Amino acid sequence: MAAGLPVVAFADAGGAAEAFGDDAGLKVPYLDVSAMADELARLAENPAEAKALGARARQRIESQFASEHFFRRFHELVERDFGPVAAKR
């Protein structure tokens, strides 16, 4: 995703489909190798779609999973669940 490439993943296989959400990747049924091959072939035949999908994937990584965004959200979750966190110097 960070490389701007289209991603095809098996649903319910460990988080990839959740990472790309509804519009930044494609998911196929778990371990359905034929469906995976079909999606990959379809993307190979539709380079404009593949490029657009890859661009959305990269944008999603940059907006939601870059370290500064990730750690800010992690900090928010920790404070929500455990209270304010003071930095020690």
What global pTM score does this model have? Answer: 0.68
Q: Answer whether 67's CB lies under 8 Å from 73's CB.
A: no
* pLDDT, tens digit, 9 for 90 and up, residues 18-45: 788 888 889 999 999 999 999 999 999 9
Compute the distance between CA of residue 42 and CA of residue 65 in angstroms, rounded to an integer: 28
Asked if 61 contacts 2 with a C-beta cutoff of 8 angstroms, the reply is yes
Cross-strand partners of 26: 8
Q: What pLDDT does residue 9 have?
A: 93
Q: Is pLDDT above 70 for 87? A: no
Nearest to 50 by CA among 33, 34, 26, 21: 26
